Chains A and B, each alone.
Chain A
Amino acid sequence: MTDQPQTAISAGPEAEPTVTTTTVPMWLIVGTLVLLFLSAWYFDLHGAWFHAKVYPPYTSWANVNEFQPGDGGPDPNKGRPLYESNCALCHNSDGSGKPGQAPPLAGSEWVVTTGVNRLIRIPQVGLTGPIKVKGQDYNNLPSMAGMGATYTDEQLADVLNYIRNSWGNKAPFVTPEQVKKVRTDLGGRSQPYTPDELMKLPE
């Protein structure tokens, strides 16, 4: 046997544990606060504050919303089938128009406009009378029929977006709301516009 148990016994009465007050070391307090701060910081960055719909790997609700599928903005090609089956009969598939039938749309100052108030009226109720497009006079064309009753606001907006953004044309998108507004403005009008009449309207 070694001395060890003996020392433990001999240390007996003197080593009676007593309760004394002692200060908590400063490094422990500082260390705990630093740990608390770091974990709170990490939680703030990754925890999304217990948001019910934020799961890893997303770190916040804003982060989740960065990955919601967008529609990529309006698609100018959406109106193409409608154009090909209606408008292209006279205006041609490449928007160059057909002699004796319809003026061109490609590069036309009637199509590529900033305001769309006049343009929207043309497919709605039609157009008749002599017209000047790209510096050329078209006098003896058949009048264009209105199609506002056949197609919805969305369809008309799609087809206008197609002609405004094809064959080298580039113009801002038309919204269905704009078409709807013009439809209301037209009231029940079914009489085709003449170019002169259109020019009197605000752009």
Chain B
Amino acid sequence: MRSSAIVFLAAFIALSASWAGFVLAPQLQLGRAPLEKSLGTETLYPVARPGLAAQGAEVYTALGCVYCHSQQVGQDGVRCDIVLSEPGTNVLATLAALRSVDENLGKPETLANLPKVIKTVATVAAADAIVKPLRETGAKAGVKIVPTGSDISRGWGRRRTVAQDYAYDLPVQLGTRRAGPDLADVGARQPDIEWHLRHLYDPKSEVKDSTMPPYRFLFEERPAGKSDPADVLALPAGAAPAGKEIVKTDAARALAAYLVSLRTTDVPLQEAPFTPPPAPPAAPATNSAAQ
């Protein structure tokens, strides 16, 4: 074969080009990216998971949760809502300002049932241009940046996930299949650790149509009344075998701590901006990562 050197060289260039493009370049670009503050705060995001949740990530990996659950939320678009929350004392001036935006808005009905979204526009600049004259009349108005998309309308998160969300994950378990719901923001949907434990023991008891297999080997059956009540899984009457009680293992507790630590809901980032809810509820007493 006369051209073996050329074949070798061509194969080498092809393989190293794809390695440079798929491995080296992302590592240089994202692997060294510094953590950034979440929008409007002074806190870096994310913070490393505390001990129990970090162990839970290993349980998650070991059990292969990634084969049925993804941890990536997509986003198709973004819109800006103008929210009017108070008409102010000078209602006529407010109505006049509204009328200059849109003839149909300048009606008294607009001021009923506040706060509400009075108009949706494409960019923040366009929204600010409407909000400013409104505010000058004494009305309280604001701009709400709302990401949109099918994942988001399912309630799987308020924004798309970005590289920074996984800064402390090794391995990053994006997942490719969604036999179950996406878990990138599960800690915000269901912040109750006990719920997760009951759900792991018997998924159908919490979600009627769940197809998830029960993970009962994460729990131990022990004679009733012998264990610390804090270790016993609170189940509805008759759910535990007669004369027995269900005791949580460390693995179960760690996995549940990991699940509630998965949350992106209250963290707007520069690359994935949105307006978080005005008064976030008090953080649950968990090992949550995004506090």
Contacts and interface: CB of A to CB of B under 8 A. Distances in A.
Contacts, number: 74
A72 B135 contact: yes
Contact of B124 (A66, A75, A77, A170): A66
B138 interface: yes
A52 B164 CA distance: 10
B8 to A, nearest CB: 21
Given A52-B29, A57-B77, A73-B128, A68 B270 contact: yes
A57 B78 contact: yes
Interface in A41-77: 50, 52-58, 64, 66-70, 72-73, 75-77
Contacts of B162: 53, 55
Given A69-B268, A72-B131, A64 B29 contact: no
Contact of A53 (B74, B88, B271, B275): B271
A108 interface: no
The secondary-structure label for the interface of chain A is: loop
A94 to B, nearest CB: 9
B262 to A, nearest CB: 19
Contacts of B143: 69-70, 72
A53 B35 CA distance: 12
B124 A67 contact: yes
A198 to B, nearest CB: 27
A124 interface: no
B40 interface: yes
Contacts of A52: 29-30, 33, 163
B145 A77 contact: no
B40 A69 contact: yes
Contact of A69 (B25, B132, B273): B273
B123 A75 contact: no
A73 B134 CA distance: 12
B128 A64 contact: no
B106 interface: no
A146 B77 CA distance: 52
Interface in B161-185: 162-163
A66 B125 contact: yes
A107 to B, nearest CB: 15
Interface in B31-47: 33, 39-40
Given A53-B270, A55-B75, A73-B135, 11 more contacts: A50-B29, A52-B29, A55-B160, A55-B271, A55-B272, A58-B78, A67-B78, A67-B273, A69-B143, A70-B124, A72-B142
25 contacts: A50-B25, A52-B33, A53-B162, A53-B271, A55-B160, A55-B162, A55-B271, A56-B75, A57-B76, A57-B77, A57-B149, A58-B78, A64-B270, A67-B123, A67-B273, A68-B124, A68-B273, A69-B143, A69-B145, A69-B268, A72-B132, A72-B141, A75-B135, A77-B88, A170-B136
